[in-house]
Amino acid sequence: PSQPNNLEAFWMPFTMNRQFKKAPRMLVSAEGMYYTAQDGRKILDGAAGLWCVNAGHRRPKIVEAVQRQIFELDYAPAFQMGHPAAFELASRLVTLMPGDLDHVFFTNSGSESVDTALKIALAYQRAKGEGTRQRLIGRERGYHGVGFGGISVGGIVTNRKFFGSLLTGVDHMPHTHDKAHQAFSRGQPEWGGHLADELERIVTLHDASNIAAVIVEPVAGSTGVLIPPQGYLQRLREICDKHGILLIFDEVITGFGRLGASFATEYFGVMPDIICTAKGITNGTIPMGAVFVRKHIYDAFMNGPEGAIELFHGYTYSGHPVACAAALATLETYQEDGLFQRAADLAPYWEDAVHSLKGARHVIDLRNLGLIAGIELEPLQGQPTKRAFDAFLKCFERGVMIRTTGDIIALSPPLIIEKSEIDHLFTTIREVLESIE
Ligand code: PMP
């Protein structure tokens, strides 16, 4: 396809694409670890698209499954009807899910999964006869998508500040890299637990009888790869248990192998009450999300508050047949290639590669877990975010795709990455950091 010549009229789905118009970076095809740009250059994908293409691009099994399904059943309403692939997918997903979160709602994105989870939490508390439990607790620097539910419980200022009327009754805990808290308690063996105790403070302030749920990303991704200190998630679980508060994990990024386990829940050994997923569920091919809950929570939501079958929830495209086919083939691909184990096996090599940037120009912090990394750069005075964005542009020129968020480079390659590609990724980043102001 030729380069569109009127980019003003050219619609793109992200407001972040303001800069894109100046120098369009068009991707025209993809395979395995690589995109092909419009000028024919191969681009190493260090970000798995947007944290979603965990099995690598254009996997034949997934492509064929999508084609087969679209020829057979292009659409089926999930409203009083069903189709076999949705049921098969639900049962396959549940076997992958640790613990007893064995009921699934399908959505079309991470943002919808979050909205669905928050609604389920509120409806469940009401069905239990605890209708005063309406407050929700998120975290500073939490990212939960761009719906009103997600930006309300999320903590990204730029996503919130233009929308005065967000959900009311929401509080935010400090994030796990809160500088003041780190200075105060890092080095103490229990500092993760102390940080989680911030939740107790909020619970005391409002009284537990008013609080429905707490939502966190086990590892915050989009705000710069913030890895929880030891004991943090466990302590959140304990506090929620003590007060009858539901714990929701947003595993939109951490699900489907990113940490070298099927879910972060398994990796950290902490079971939430509700899990939100999306992205890797279809390897990025077709939009889809899924929310996992326990049976009694599912029943409460299905039956509605006060047992009246009046609660309405579901999307036109919930459990879309083509998305289900893509997800089934994705799960088979993950399994056949042993990709979650592969990520676990590669994690030490990845860790060494990340920390090889210690002392590299502009780098002030390095974080990693599984096949995810955050490289924090010293902000350029007066121009925060510029340095990381310049690094992104330069990497792209050199055929490497990274993602940046604020002053942080975030990496999350497809789990099929080879060691030589890891080397290339980090060598390129080091050279690029040397070359930028
Ligand atoms: N939650 C988390 C943790 C995410 O990382 C994202 C997307 N980056 C979302 C929710 C929103 O997902 P979507 O963009 O599919 O709505």
Chain-centroid distance of CA 347 in Å reads 19
Nearest CA to ligand 1 atom 12: 110
ipTM over 0.95: yes
Alpha helix segments (H runs only) across 225-294:
232-243, 264-268
| Atom number of ligand 1 nearest to Cα 142 | 3
Q: How many residues does the chain have?
A: 437
Average pLDDT on 307-314 reads: 72
Write the pLDDT tens digit of every residue in 351-382.
Answer: 999 999 999 999 999 999 999 999 999 999 99
Ligand 1 center–CA 183 separation, angstroms: 30
Buried b (16+ CB within 10 A) or exposed e, 419-433: eebbebbbebbbebb
Substitution candidate for ligand 1 out of 113, 118, 225, 279 with most atoms within 8 A of CB: 279
Tell me which residue has tokens 């619609």. 11
Ligand 1 center–CA 5 separation, angstroms: 31
pLDDT band at 309 (very low <50, low <70, confident <90, very high): low
Which residues are registered as beta bridge partners of 400? 44
Q: Which residues contact 279 (CB under 8 A, 6 or more apart)?
A: 50, 51, 52, 54, 110, 252, 253, 255, 256
Write the pLDDT tens digit of every residue in 176-191.
Answer: 887 766 766 666 778 8
Q: Is the predicted pLDDT of residue 10 greater than 70, yes or no?
A: no
Q: Which residues contact 415 (CB under 8 A, 6 or more apart)?
A: 54, 55, 56, 257, 258, 339, 340, 342, 343, 346, 371
Ligand 1 center–CA 44 separation, angstroms: 23
Percent of the chain with pLDDT over 90: 82
Give residue 394's pLDDT. Answer: 96
pTM over 0.80: yes
Angle at the Cα of 157 (from 156 to 161), degrees rounded to 5?
130
How far apart, in whole angstroms, are the C-alpha atoms of residue 247 and residue 276? Answer: 11
Structural domains in the chain, CATH included, are 7-55+338-435 (3.90.1150.10), 63-336 (3.40.640.10)
Picking from 264, 307, 293, 299, the residue whose alpha carbon sits closest to that of residue 107 is 293
| Atom number of ligand 1 nearest to Cα 114 | 10
